[in-house]
Amino acid sequence: MNVAANIDHETLARTLPLDQFDPGNPKLFQDDVWMPYFARLRQEDPVHYCKESRFGPYWSVTKYKDIMTVETSHTTYSSESALGGISIVDRPVEFRRPSFISMDPPKHDEHRKVVQPIVAPGNLAKLEQIIRERTCSVLDSLPRNETFNWVDLVSIELTTRMLATLFDFPFEDRRKLTYWSDVATADVNAGGPINSEEKRTEVLQECLQYFTRLWEERANAAPGSDLVSMLAHGPATRNLSPKEFLGTLTLLIVGGNDTTRNSMSAGLWFLHQNPAEFAKLRENPALVDTMVPEIIRYHTPLSHMRRTAVQDAELNGKTIRKGDKVVMWYISGNRDADAIENPDTFIIDRKRPRQHLSFGFGLHRCVGNRLAELQLRILWEEILKRFERIEVMGPPQRIYSAFVHGISELPVRIPG
């Protein structure tokens, strides 16, 4: 599917023969024109096969219910990195970095249990205090009466500080975390500095070295409550190979970074586009609680997760063969009118706002879901206390990726 810049996507999406659909084309997300293509697939070919693409052949699962089926059938649909892992891109074998998101039971379960305590209710309560202090200091230092990039000064800064806290990472070096996260997920065709797997590996070696140092420090100290210490002392993780250690680190860095960051940017954009919802929120700040999951649904920070079939299976009338690549398009399932009322509308007081696919479901369901919500809730509570107006000066710039649904720039101005 070749997508030119000034094309009428509504028409193209309606008329293009289905066998030419390649919904994994990252340009569709960068140009924010993915919606009509997925709407057509949900309507006419909900489990769609693309025979040929940059990513090879793949299935697209686009309806909420079918995605739930794939998520909960892990004995049919595997996450195993040796089979290709969890994204539409098949990294060459030597460049794969296994971590528990790309493992099946029983190994997955053992590794996951090691990091789970970081999000235990008691720990979240402790983190709330720190997050609020850091959020306040970031918001209080924002420039007034001049245009700045919200992504950089708010979304990146806050999520990076959060990550530094979770890892107990040297605070002054915290932007390294952001950099490594971006490097780990960059699409090599995006035209950026990471244009090959070799380059990516080179940079991530630095990440590994830095963390290996922290690991040694923490392994030799008494067990602490940060993630590095948990991994260094956890029975299932203390003997990780360097490759697995790097895989687990990048999982935790990317997991907690990009996704929350992009929700922080997207939320402001959605409120700007929906002034009536913004007014509702100003009138009743308690709606932050239901708005946060709605932002996460409406944006869908990770557009998809991928599985590989390890046996033949039927899915909504189609026969999936052993070895096939199966892409679950959360971004589409979250707009499925059979599962969510008025799915294309941003509504901050939905009755069941957490019924969405953005965190996945089943045994890989996001570890950090309540932590991410906590960060966003605090951000919006503190914004409402401080700023009467935030003027959005232009549309967001989006990144070239079919995986991370990312916003790189959002120009804003705060009067006063």
Residue 211, Ramachandran bin (φ over 0: left; ψ between -120 and 50: alpha; else beta):
alpha
- Residue 52 binding: pick among another protein, ligand HEM, none (C-beta 5-8 Å cut-off by kind): none
* 78 near ligand HEM, rule: CB under 6 A: no
Helix H or strand E encompassing 119: none
* Binder of residue 256, out of another protein, ligand HEM, none (CB less than 5 to 8 A by kind): ligand HEM
Q: Per CB under 6 A, which region of 1-9, 209-217, 257-265, 347-355 contacts ligand HEM?
A: 257-265
Contact assessment for residue 296 and residue 356, using Cβ atoms and an 8 Å cutoff: yes
Angstrom distance (rounded) from CA 51 to CA 2: 15
Minimal distance, residue 310 CB to another protein, in Å: 17
CB 414 within 8 A of CB 389: yes
Helical H segments across 274-318, by residue range = 275-283, 288-299
Per CB under 6 A, does 291 bind ligand HEM? no
- Contact flag: residue 120 with another protein (CB under 8 A): yes
d(CA 309, CA 327): 11
Taking CB under 6 A as the binding criterion, the range among 51-59, 248-256, 283-291, 344-352 that sits at the site for ligand HEM is 248-256
Instruction: Tell me the per-residue interface mask from 67 to 96 with another protein, x by CB under 8 A, - otherwise.
Output: -x--xx------------------------
Q: How far apart (Å, rounded) are the C-alpha atoms in residues 223 and 286? A: 38
Cα separation of 192 and 91, whole Å? 18
Q: What is the DSSP secondary structure assignment for residue 404, as one 8-state letter?
A: B
Minimum separation from the CB atom of position 213 to another protein (A): 29
Q: What are phi and psi of 407, to 5 degrees?
A: -120, 125
Residue 368: other Cβ atoms inside 10 A = 20
Using the rule CB under 8 A, is 370 a contact of another protein? yes
Asked if 23 is part of the footprint of ligand HEM (rule: CB under 6 A), the reply reads no
Of 92, 84, 227, which is closest to residue 162 (Cα–Cα)? 227
260 binds, among ligand HEM, another protein, none (CB under 5 to 8 A by kind): ligand HEM
Determine which residue in the list 22, 66, 71, 277 makes contact with ligand HEM, applying CB under 6 A: 71
Decide if residue 119 touches another protein (CB under 8 A).
yes
Length of the chain: 416
Indicate which of another protein, ligand HEM, none lies near residue 144 (CB less than 5 to 8 Å, by partner kind). none
Residue closer to ligand HEM, measured from CB, 253 or 414: 253
Q: Does 229 bind ligand HEM (CB under 6 A)?
A: no
Closest alpha carbon to 50 in 410, 356, 402: 402
Q: Can you tell me which of 9, 14, 74, 112 binds ligand HEM, judged by CB under 6 A?
A: 112
Nearest residue to 396 (alpha-carbon basis) of 379, 413, 414, 409: 409
By the rule CB under 6 A, 343 interacts with ligand HEM: no
Residue 379 as a binder of ligand HEM (CB under 6 A): the answer is: no
DSSP state of 86: T
Residue 101 contact, options another protein, ligand HEM, none, Cβ 5-8 Å cut-off depending on partner type:
ligand HEM
The structure tokens listed for 122 are 């008691």
* CB atoms inside a 10 Å sphere around CB 394: 10
Single out the segment in contact with ligand HEM by CB under 6 A; choices: 167-175, 252-260, 278-286, 312-320: 252-260
The tokens for 128 are 């709330």
Does 364 participate in binding ligand HEM (rule CB under 6 A)?
yes
Which parts of this chain interact with another protein (CB under 8 A)?
68, 71-72, 105, 109, 112-113, 116-117, 119-122, 124, 352, 354-355, 359, 361-363, 365, 367, 369-370
Q: Return residues touching ligand HEM (CB under 6 A).
A: 71, 100-101, 112, 251-252, 255-256, 259-260, 263, 296, 301-302, 305, 358-362, 364-368, 371-372
